[in-house]
């Protein structure tokens, strides 16, 4: 059994999160030659935020929602859109010898100033 660390999300990213980007992620299916190709089906959205309390570090959070907060194909994200995430979790993994964090949440909510 592996021990999974619990990462305090607020201590990690702070509480002032500025939404700067929002992109759909598409389903990928394995084809006959072993490679993957994208389909037209959206599986989730990636919300990119700037963590103002953490030296403007950027993170991307995966959210499996049917509809995004904003339709970025029709309009830009409004300026100074602060958000919070419900049930934000981080999962550590190793890539090229470096520890990285993937992030996932149930929902993204606009915070009224």
Q: What is the pLDDT of residues 10-33, one digit of tens each?
A: 888 888 999 999 999 998 888 888
Q: Domain residues of the chain, as ranges?
A: 9-110
Is-contact 49 69, C-beta < 8 A?
no
CA distance 24 to 38: 12
Q: What is the pLDDT of residues 39-49, one digit of tens each?
A: 899 999 999 99
Hey, which residues does 86 pair with through a beta bridge?
107
| 3-class state of residue 1 by DSSP | coil
The model's pTM is 0.84
CA distance 14 to 111: 14
> Is domain 9-110 in CATH 2.40.50.390, yes or no?
yes
| Residue appearing with tokens 């072993």 | 34
Q: What is the pLDDT of residues 104-113, one digit of tens each?
A: 999 999 998 6
CA distance 63 to 103: 9
């Amino acid at each position: 059994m592996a021990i999974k660390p619990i990462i305090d999300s607020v201590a990690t990213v702070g509480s002032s999160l500025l939404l700067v980007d929002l992109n759909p992620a598409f389903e990928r299916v394995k084809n006959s030659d072993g490679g993957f190709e994208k389909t037209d089906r959206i599986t989730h959205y990636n919300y990119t935020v700037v963590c103002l309390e953490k030296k403007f570090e950027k993170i991307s959070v995966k959210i499996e929602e049917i509809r995004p907060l904003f339709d970025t194909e029709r309009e830009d994200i409004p300026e100074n859109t602060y958000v919070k995430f419900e049930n934000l979790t981080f999962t550590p993994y190793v890539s090229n010898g470096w520890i990285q964090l993937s992030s996932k949440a149930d929902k993204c909510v606009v915070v009224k100033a």
